[in-house]
Amino acid sequence: MRLFYAVMVPKHIQEQIAPAQKKLRGNWRAVRPDHMHITLAFMPQYPEGKSKPLLELGEKISKGHDSFLIQVRGTGYFPNEGSPRVWFVKTEAPELQEISEALTSQIDYPFEEQAFKPHITLARKKGPAPRVPPVVFDLSWKASSFVLVHSTLQPSGPTYKILKTFRFRDFGQSSPSPSTTVE
């Protein structure tokens, strides 16, 4: 099962970022605004029925952090050279790195060795398409929580089901695991 921890982008920030996606031409596939997030740890093939340690770890880490400010900057590409596959907007907050490292170092799961680069994916390329000129944002929001998400790939795009919300220490208890499905 595909799982990931992430900070979800609040609606008022989605509404300010999404208009930049209108600049896409060709074979870019825009990410739905309500799917925008910053991935903290991705587990593409996590064993079914073994998510309890992930829920406990999310609780533990959220209780060790206060809410923090996330700044949204300019757009870029992965990879930056040649033909990019992902168009993203960079995000900044030292806490994102700290939380990502805490999650990946304490989960007994073989993560890929990739440098953590906090970002919000705006689009993925499905074939030849021109690059979009740089877009600069001067936005920020205070992150009060992160989530554990179950992702299911569909021909029409992924569906997300939030398994649990982990609130940071100054925002109280974590949610009692209500499931929220985002399609």
> Is there a contact between 61 and 105 (Cβ–Cβ < 8 Å)?
no
Q: CA-based angle 65:71:75, to the nearest 5? A: 135
SS3 call for 59: helix
Determine the Cα–Cα distance for residues 169 and 171; give it in Å rounded to an integer: 5
Q: Which of 12, 35, 37, 65 is catalytic?
A: 37
Q: Which of 12, 35, 65, 119 is catalytic?
A: 119
Residue in this structure with the two tokens 């569906």, named with its chain if needed: 159
SS3 call for 77: strand
Report which secondary-structure segment, H or E, holds 123.
Answer: strand 119-125
Structure tokens at 128: 């030849």
To the query of whether residue 35 is one of the catalytic residues in this protein, the response is no
DSSP state at residue 34 = G
SS3 call for 105: helix
To the query of whether residue 65 is one of the catalytic residues in this protein, the response is no
Structure tokens at 4: 């990931």
- Positions annotated as catalytic residues are 37, 119
